[in-house]
Structure 1
């Protein structure tokens, strides 16, 4: 019996994934555990392994976008024929299908009807100004997919996007660009997520300078007595966890008009890659020591840079920290549906007044962005004050 291979869910809110590359061909014999394909979600590249043994049959082409749990391929027994795809039903009077993206007669869409389409296709149609009801579907079960929207948009006589590989129109007053790079892959996903974040949330950022002199001294001492390399980021992760327990309104998600509170604190820590950011998640931070946090942060960072993160490594976050480290302060953008995110600036030796005297202390600017739909200003300030106390009196963090 044919064993279906489906698109895995690689994130909490993933709806579809891209078959970036088939590493095995149709007709090849596959053993359990062999890598079949490379899958791309919005922020994760994933090697899909066979869970059984059999003869591989591709159900979709390389480069296809497939819904989560949609069938990508089958594993067949020797000599077994692959299942026949089920074509979407069509009225007998329907015209012959036109080529993908070619302008088709407008379908009759009544007010309130939903055009069968993937979420990615709907987002793309909105961004390109395309009436999705006019696009010819080529996806499974008669759904409009990304490629259909792009093809339709490019086929329009005016306002269409440049053909693949063709440079956009020249900008007046500028020479021809030396290089044109399409916004695609992880970079395009980041662009879409950042745009959606700013468009759908009421973001407000609070800046606070904290004295990390004592925390740095205790961190260095703890690191010297540990096999783990304890950096300031791991100290801040622990300090945030302690502060979130006191101010739980920031450890929330806003989903479908509901504010969801959690006792567990799963901390996303942004990691910079060559083509963007990815946010692996440290689970149950409230129950872990700084040493445990530091070890797990390093392991996740190494996996991210090697491209070996699993789907479980990037899901379930309730709060995020982004360490920029080269500027004093910045305005971090929320990671929806989370309600808050902490940006960490660089540490600088500065003269400050302490006990009536001017002394040199190591200072750092923390920047908290919170969704004002969920977090009032007074609540955000309470969190920042608590965080400052934890960082400036760090003994309880290391106990």
Structure 2
């Protein structure tokens, strides 16, 4: 059976990736797990793995070419098997698209429900313009809404300028006026993203070079980081809570365990394991958020922020809650080392992020949420503190955990319950 090797997606907002190197040629025999290619996104390179054994039947792209994520870049199978011709590929692609179409239920005057389908480009434009597809009449086969239908609908939109409450609030906070902003919403309505996109050009004009300045231009990775974090800070209503954790007992347990087993379990490993347990209890924190909804994710994939020469990368540990402490230790070490080399392995998208600056002596800090996630945990340095305990004054080892949450999805009380629950797990950690 011929198997299509598709370009993987490692980031939620990455649409294309470039093929850096093919590790195989047409006709090569490969084993399951063999590295077929190395590809790169804006921030990192990663490997494409063979899902099964077979022979390389066809490579669809050359080194240096860009390909859309989730689309075939090669075919593998057995010798003599027929590769889908262009017509077959188009039909297969159409079938896949139709399977993924969002079924929208509408009610006509007859009271009969029917299914409405739309093309990817039509959905994309409708989403960008904040349109309801159910209001658009499709001219494609079986009433399918296609790109030109959406464009025709936009031509009929009213020119009156309106502003959403969120867009108005951001504009007021940043001192913008609406005269210079073009709305992308229905009828020219000014949306949140319109205000945000208008902020960067205004700020960029502030910087004027003077003699003696050393100009350091953003590389591709730094631009991506700047865009994502600026979007997060401007569009997500962050709030922060903190809790001091007594880790005296867990440090003693860690020293004993490492000595006994000859391993190097870190405090970060223990926090990762504890966080995974807490997220099982509080699924609201293990979710993705946008302006309209919250998606509670069924899997727990904790990402660890890693500083690299190319900027900040988040290395994800898939199914973190299913791993024991030693497995988490091995995976996090490997992820960190690969990330520093600019390599990101294909994993499930992250659902929660942990950022640890404790190794730099930072007591506490305010992290920025990694969208579309709804929360991020900050970890501070281990410090000696004098505290009262049972009518005595004792010295303990303590660190500060900070939790940044998206107020659209998580209320303060729920965040406090989560952080207190996590604190209890860490202070009583034993395995």
Q: TM-score, normalised by structure 1?
A: 0.65
Q: How does 1:1-399 map to 2 (within 5 A)?
A: 7-11=7-11, 13-19=12-18, 21-22=20-21, 31-32=28-29, 38-48=38-48, 52-53=55-56, 58=61, 62=64, 64=66, 66-70=67-71, 112=154, 172=208, 174-184=210-220, 186-254=221-289, 257-262=292-297, 264-312=299-347, 315-325=348-358, 326=360, 327-392=362-427, 394=428, 397-399=429-431
* 8 Å Cα contact 1:7-1:16 kept in structure 2: no
> Where in structure 1 are there 5+ consecutive unaligned residues?
87-108, 114-128, 133-158, 160-167
Q: Give SS of 1:199's match.
A: helix
Q: CA deviation at 1:256?
A: 6.6
* 8 Å Cα contact 1:332-1:341 kept in structure 2: yes
**Structure 2: how far apart are the matches of 1:251 and 1:170?**
39
* Count of aligned positions: 316
1:146 corresponds to: none
**Structure 2: how far apart are the matches of 1:239 and 1:304?**
23
* 8 Å Cα contact 2:273-2:320 kept in structure 1: yes
Q: Give SS of 2:335's match.
A: helix
**Structure 1: how far apart are the matches of 2:36 and 2:382?**
46
* 8 Å Cα contact 1:9-1:15 kept in structure 2: yes
Q: Give SS of 2:382's match.
A: strand
CA deviation map 1:223-261 (0-9, x unaligned)? 122243111011111222232233332122225733222
Alpha-carbon spacing, 1:333–1:199, altered in 2? closer, same or farther (3 Å):
same
1:156 corresponds to: none
* 8 Å Cα contact 1:170-1:176 kept in structure 2: no
**Structure 2: how far apart are the matches of 1:131 and 1:39?**
37
> Where in structure 2 are there 5+ consecutive unaligned residues?
91-150, 156-180, 185-200
Alpha-carbon spacing, 1:8–1:131, altered in 2? closer, same or farther (3 Å):
farther
Alpha-carbon spacing, 1:234–1:29, altered in 2? closer, same or farther (3 Å):
closer
CA deviation map 1:61-109 (0-9, x unaligned)? 8364x3224566899x9xx9x979x9xxxxxxxxxxxxxxxxxxxxxx6
Q: Let me know the Cα RMSD of the aligned residues.
A: 4.0
Q: Give SS of 1:181's match.
A: coil
Q: TM-score, normalised by structure 2?
A: 0.61
